[in-house]
Structure 1
C-alpha cells in the first residue's frame, strides 16, 4: 500500500463516514433493535438454570467504581465506528455479517449455557443507573461477556481502518485505550467477573481475526 499523507487521514475518514451514511445509520439502528429483541428473548427462555460464575482474586483487585458506568455505555458509540467507516457497500455487508455472526454465537451460548454473575453485597438503590442495568441482566448472559467481545472486535477493525487511511499512531493507541477502559468498566461496575472478560476477549479476538482475513480490500482508502 502506498504511504498516505498524515494530513490526509481526517479527509479520508470523513469520506468513508459520508459514504452510504443513510444505509449505515438505518442498518445500525435496525441491527440493534433486532439484537436486543433476541437478547431479551434468550434471557427469559434459557434451556437450563443459569450457572453462577466464580469470582477470582483479581475480581477484588478491581475496586467497585460506579463512575465506570459512563465508560461502559460508551461501547455503543465505539462499536458503531467500524461500520460507519466502511468505504463501500461490499465492505459494509461483509463487516455487518461477521458482526451478526459473533453476536449470534454469543446468544446461542447464553441460551444453551446460561450464566450469571455472583450476588454481591451492594446496595444497588444507591446507584440507580447500575440498578437498572442489573435488573435488565438479572437472569444472566454473563459469560462470555458480549460487551467485551464487541469492544475487542471493534478495536481490531478500527486498527485495520486507521492503517488503511494512514491515521497517526496516537489515534490507534487511543482506540486501544478506549477498548481497555470499556473492558475495565465491566468489572468496575460489577457487570462481569474476570472469567467473563477473558472469555469475551477471546471471542472478540477470534471473530476479528477470522473476519479481517476474509474482508475485501477496499478499492480506495
Structure 2
C-alpha cells in the first residue's frame, strides 16, 4: 500500500508539473509523422486507455514476495523518472486538433483533459508503465489456463492500441515508451536476488 501511494503521488504531482512546464514553453517538439495521419480516432478506446489507471495500483498487491515488490516498485519509479526527465529536457506537444466526442466516452475524454493538457507526448509514459504492469500480471497468471493468459495479453494489446486511437500519442512516442519500459524491466532483473525467506 505504501509503495502504491508513494509512486502514485510521484506520478500525479510529477506528471502534472511537467505537463504545465511543457504548456508554458514557447516551442514544443513532436514526433508526429505522416504515418500517424493514417491512424483513426476511435472514441470508444478511451475505455481501455483509462483501464490502465485501475490495473496500475492493483499490481502492487500481486507481488508474492518483498523482493518482487521492490523490483516492481523500482521499475515503476524508473519509468516515471525517465519519462518525466525527458518531458522537462525535451518538451513535446500534440500537433493534432483533438476531437471532443459525445456521450459517455466524451465525458471520459473531458475528465482526462481536465487533468492533462496535450503535452508530455514522448516517450509515452502510458506505454512505459503498461510494459511493467503487463509483466507483473503475466507472472501472477502463470498458473492459470492458457486462455486466461492470452486474454491478459489481448487486453494489454488493446490498451497499447488505444494510446494511438485516442490520439493521446503518436507511433514513435509509443515505441519510445515501450523501450523505456523494457529497459526498466531489464535493469530490475539484473538486481541481486534476495536470499531471505521472503524472496
The TM-score, its normalising length taken from structure 1, stands at 0.75
The alignment yields a C-alpha RMSD, in angstroms, of 2.6
Gaps of 5+ in 2: none
8 A contact 1:44–1:139 mirrored in 2: no
Q: Does 1:30 align with 2:6?
A: yes
8 A contact 2:91–2:119 mirrored in 1: yes
Q: Please say which structure displays the higher CA radius of gyration.
A: 1
Matched length = 193
CA–CA separation in structure 1 for the residues paired with 2:69 and 2:60 = 6
CA–CA separation in structure 2 for the residues paired with 1:144 and 1:108 = 10
The TM-score, its normalising length taken from structure 2, stands at 0.83
Q: How many Å apart are 1:195 and its aligned residue?
A: 1.2
Matched ranges for 1:58-207 at <5 A: 59-120=36-97, 122=99, 124=100, 126=102, 127-138=106-117, 140-163=119-142, 166-207=143-184
8 A contact 1:91–1:216 mirrored in 2: no
Q: How many Å apart are 1:42 and its aligned residue?
A: 1.8
8 A contact 1:82–1:161 mirrored in 2: no
CA–CA separation in structure 2 for the residues paired with 1:121 and 1:68 = 14
Gaps of 5+ in 1: 1-23
8 A contact 2:45–2:166 mirrored in 1: yes
Q: How many Å apart are 1:103 and its aligned residue?
A: 0.8
